[in-house]
Amino acid sequence: MALKSTTDHYGTVAVTIHWLSALLIVVLIGSGFRAAGIEDSAAKAGILRLHLPLGIAILLLTLGRVGWWWFADKKPASMPMPTWQDRSSRTVHFLFYVVILGMAASGIGMMVLSGAGPIIFGGEASALPDFWDYLPRIPHGIGARLILVLFVIHVGAALYHHWLKKDDLLVRMWFAK
């Protein structure tokens, strides 16, 4: 499999970024909702020690993906499908980028405004601030729910194409042809 995409298949770099991002987003969604539901500061700090670096990794992967598409590679040609499906697909993908970047910005904003970074990564975990006291918490929570909805739509559409339409759309984003 080539590093770059062909007219009908995504390349190794794009496929790797896609599936690694998907895996990390699943872990981020789970760890974020888990941390939000925990009252014990030490337990919450333990989860956030995983959540924060993974959030930064997703930010870097997303920026790397955008850079890859702008400077190094071209996406395969669109699959033939009804206009509404094509537009929906493009909208969901665009919203993924917007929400991921917004989640990163609001997460960084929460850490900076609350001063929780040093506490989580080395200070007294019992002294975690109440994140609800910081405005970026609201868009971060909304973004978490939006990314979950986008994820379900994206996976649902991919499985629809794979199992019902049998049009090899999902195969294009895998490591082998």
pLDDT digits (tens, 9 = 90+) for 80-101: 999 999 999 999 999 999 999 9
Q: What is the pLDDT of residue 1?
A: 80
Retrieve residue 139's tokens.
Answer: 């868009």
State the total domains in the chain.
Answer: 1
Q: Is residue 69 part of a domain?
A: yes
CA dihedral 26, 29, 15, 171 (to 10 degrees): 60
Packed helices 41-67 and 83-114: angle between N→C axes, nearest 10 degrees: 130
- Checking if the pLDDT of 36 tops 90, the result is yes
Residue 91 lies inside a defined structural domain of this protein: yes
Domain-embedded: residue 6: no
| Phi then psi dihedrals of residue 175, to 5 deg | -75, -20
Residue 99 in tokens: 């929400």
19, pLDDT greater than 90 = yes
Q: What is the rounded CA–CA span in Å between residue 55 and residue 135?
A: 19
Residue 87 forms part of a structural domain: yes
In a domain, 169, yes or no: yes
Q: Is there a domain that residue 159 lies in?
A: yes
Average pLDDT over the chain reads 94
Give the structural domain span for 156.
12-173
In a domain, 88, yes or no: yes
pTM score, whole prediction: 0.93
CA angle centred on 139, ends 137 and 142, rounded to 5°: 105
Whichever domain contains 94, its CATH number is 1.20.950
**Within a domain: residue 79?**
yes
